[in-house]
Amino acid sequence: MKTVHINNVELPAVGIGTWNLGDDPNCHDDEVAAIRAGLNRGARVVDTAEMYGEGRSERIVRDAIKGYRRDQLFIIDKVLPTNAGHQRLSTSLEQSLHNVGTDYFDLYLLHWRGTIPLAETVDELEKMVTHGKIRAWGVSNFDVSDLKELWSLPKGHHCVANQDLYNLEERGIEYDLLPLMKKHHLPLIAYSPLAQGDQLSGKLTSDRLLQEIAANHQASVYQVMLAWTIKDSGILTIPKSSSVAHAIANWQAGELNFTPDERAALARRFPRPQKKQLLATI
């Protein structure tokens, strides 16, 4: 399994996303079982947010991680931009910690930029580190200009990760953002790595090349899509699944290595961007 370092912690490059989990009470047991299927195989990262179902996804995480060693888990939570200032950040964080049933988060992200000045958010995040409520902080949906502004702040370089949309059909960040992050040793957390189960364009699952490469590896097209997001170093991928079978497949995709020919064919079929693109978000 490939690994990635975040805040000096070595983690398996396949983690677990949780958006939309918890929305249907009838799916509770399956969703808990899906998260545990990943954890039981060795996954350590669980990604959630106060926004997801207004705490419902955090509470699924709470139920799923019961009985697991806390120090083996790496839990990521996110604060909404409207809550990311002096007034509300600590209250939001306390609520999220309560929902997840833990004393601290390994990583706490600003979910996306809002109107609260970055300096105020950073100040508040730093306080939470000092209070032991979070081990580290990072950002999400940040582009090059956002990172440069962040790094111009006195403690801006304490940011340990940036979470952005990244999958086979959303490679825009490879033009300038990813090279900049690599230069600064800032890991990427790739969200929606399966293009939301191919719901974005609907073209990936029927793609001949992806089907061919999947057959070469006795894998599914989804596993190929997921493996592609972590083919380079410094990337953590966080697929979401509410099914045990999919969760296991996603973990196994971390072992899939492309041949040089497959890499080249994928690069021809899904070309790198040749110019700056607006940061894609969901």
Residues of span 4-43 touching ligand NAP by CB under 6 A: 17-19
Interface with ligand NAP, residue 195, by CB under 6 A = yes
Q: Which residue number, 130 or 136, has a Cβ lying nearer to ligand NAP?
A: 136
Contact status, residue 13 vs residue 235, Cβ threshold 8 Å: yes
Q: Are 180 and 276 in contact (CB under 8 A)?
A: no
- Distances 238 to 61, 132, 174, 254 between C-alpha atoms, Å: 14, 25, 18, 11
Instruction: Output 24 or 261, the one with its CB closest to ligand NAP.
Output: 24
Q: Supply the DSSP symbol for 47.
A: E
| Interface pick for ligand NAP out of 74, 163, 171, 228 (rule CB under 6 A) | 163
Q: Is 187 near ligand NAP (CB under 6 A)?
A: no
Alpha helices in the chain (DSSP H): 28-41, 56-65, 89-100, 118-130, 144-151, 177-183, 195-198, 208-216, 221-229, 244-253, 260-269
Check binding of 252 to ligand NAP (CB under 6 A).
no
Q: Check residue 73 for interaction with ligand NAP (CB under 6 A).
A: no
**Is residue 229 close enough to count as binding ligand NAP by CB under 6 A?**
no
Residue 278 burial by CB count (10 A; 0-12/13-18/19+): exposed, middle or buried? exposed
**89 is an interface residue for ligand NAP by CB under 6 A:** no
Residue 83 sits in the site that holds ligand NAP (CB under 6 A): no
Show which residues are catalytic. Answer: 52
Q: Does 96 bind ligand NAP (CB under 6 A)?
A: no
- Which residues of this protein are in contact with ligand NAP, per CB under 6 A? 17-19, 47, 111, 140-141, 163, 191-197, 220, 222, 238-243, 246, 249-250, 282
